[in-house]
Amino acid sequence: MGTYLDQIPAHLRGHITKIAATSGLAQNEESVELLAHAWLEKIDSFETRIAESDMEEWVEFPAAEARGALILTYSGSLLTVGPQENGTRRVEYASIGLRKDVPESAASDRSVLSKDVRVDESAAFSGGPIEKSSAVFKIAVAKEQLPIEEEKELLSEVTQVLTEDFVELNKTIVVS
């Protein structure tokens, strides 16, 4: 294996290799290494941005939780799960990876978590275009309960910053 791939948690290495196969990049070790390096940078960005935003990591996000969450999947996609309002949530999906086998984005104002969200398992939804995500790598939630509008703004801002960070990281893969 390579320098960067060796730094990826063992249970994610196969997923990174699969992303290389669906990314349009050359099918070689160099492409896998580029993706692994970008993935490590995305993890760092996610952790830094949530810390700066007064959010904390959870290993499980109960479906009944009133607050919203930001989810990073194994594939490097972001799911923004808004706070519950009248029994539903706004859920936004952004494929920030290089995969060509998933949509770039999807959103719904009437999504419901079908089950608790747990690290290393897929997130499942009903009532919108997003039914199931790839396995969840990290979950971030505001440390304190915020008014709904403030929480929606926080989640939106952090998602926007992370999206910009991830797009810039992807450019280094394509250019390299």
- Report pLDDT digits (tens) over 136-176: 999 999 999 999 999 999 999 999 999 889 888 877 776 44
pLDDT at 147: 97
Helix (H) or strand (E) segment spanning residue 22:
helix 10-22
pLDDT at 104: 60
Backbone angles phi, psi at 55, to 5 degrees: -115, 165
Considering the chain, what is the average pLDDT of its residues?
Answer: 87
Per-residue pLDDT averaged across 35-42, rounded?
A: 89
pLDDT at 25: 73
| Confidence band for 54, pLDDT divided at 50, 70 and 90 | very high
Helix (H, G, I), strand (E, B) or coil at 16: helix
Name the nearest CA neighbour of 75 among 138, 33, 155, 128.
138
Per-residue pLDDT averaged across 29-45, rounded?
A: 88
pLDDT at 101: 47
The CA distance from 150 to 152, in Å, is: 5
The CA distance from 45 to 53, in Å, is: 12
pLDDT at 175: 44
| Confidence band for 10, pLDDT divided at 50, 70 and 90 | confident
Per-residue pLDDT averaged across 46-50, rounded?
A: 96
Beta strands in 3-144 (DSSP E): 55-58, 60-61, 69-73, 78-81, 89-94, 105-113, 117-118, 122-126, 132-142
pLDDT at 36: 87
Q: Are 153 and 80 in contact (CB under 8 A)?
A: no
Helix (H, G, I), strand (E, B) or coil at 50: helix
More confident residue, 127 or 121: 121
CB neighbourhood size of 147 (10 A): 9
Cα 77 off chain centre by: 4
pLDDT at 96: 60
Per-residue pLDDT averaged across 41-57, rounded?
A: 96
More confident residue, 25 or 70: 70
Task: State in Å, rounded, how far the first CA of the chain is from the last one.
Answer: 19
